Amino acid sequence: MTVSYLRDSLRELANAVLRLRNGKSKATVIFMDEPGEHHLLLKRVGDDLNVEILWFDDWASWKLEPDTGPKSVFTATVPLTDFLLAATNALKILLDTFGLEGYKNKWVEHEFPLEEYKKLQTMN
């Protein structure tokens, strides 16, 4: 997926993972492209997580939805703990690779979600 700087998707992902870890049953993360966007839909089912990615040809989050509606491009069910660990590890890799300053230089509009990452680390 291509992800635009127009939205702070990494912070949204970190917050979604925190909410799911704390017992919430659903979370959505939006990854904007230019144009279009993916919506990552996460739904907790017991100890598992249903994952679906929808593609919109325009920015549905900005109420610019095409007549065609979304297209499901990925579905899976995974253990919730595996997803939480994978997301936390992805944040660690980004931080280790770029550092705080390097991430900001690459992402321009948004800081690395350091506080969220620290919270996720205490959960593992």
Residue pair 8/109 in contact by the 8 Å Cβ criterion: yes
Tens digits of residue pLDDT in 32-69: 998 899 999 999 999 999 999 999 888 777 677 666 77
In a domain, 3, yes or no: no
Domain annotation covers residue 17: yes
* Contact (Cβ atoms closer than 8 angstroms) between residue 70 and residue 60: yes
Q: Give the total number of structural domains in the chain.
A: 1
Mean pLDDT throughout 16-40? 94
- Cα Rg, the chain, nearest whole Å: 15
- From the list 22, 7, 36, 32, the residue with the least C-alpha distance to 113 is 7
Q: Which residue range is the domain that position 37 belongs to? A: 9-118
Q: Is residue 124 part of a domain?
A: no
How many whole angstroms separate alpha carbon 45 and alpha carbon 61?
A: 25
> Pick the residue with more confidence: 57 or 79?
79
Rounded Cα–Cα distance for residues 107 and 7 (Å): 10
What count of residues does the chain have?
124
For residue 42, is it within any domain? yes
Answer whether residue 57 is part of any domain.
yes
Q: How many CB atoms within 10 Å of residue 45?
A: 10
DSSP lists the bridge partners of residue 67 as none
pLDDT of residue 124 exceeding 60, the answer is: no
Residue 122: pLDDT over 90: no
Residue 76 has pLDDT above 80, yes or no: yes
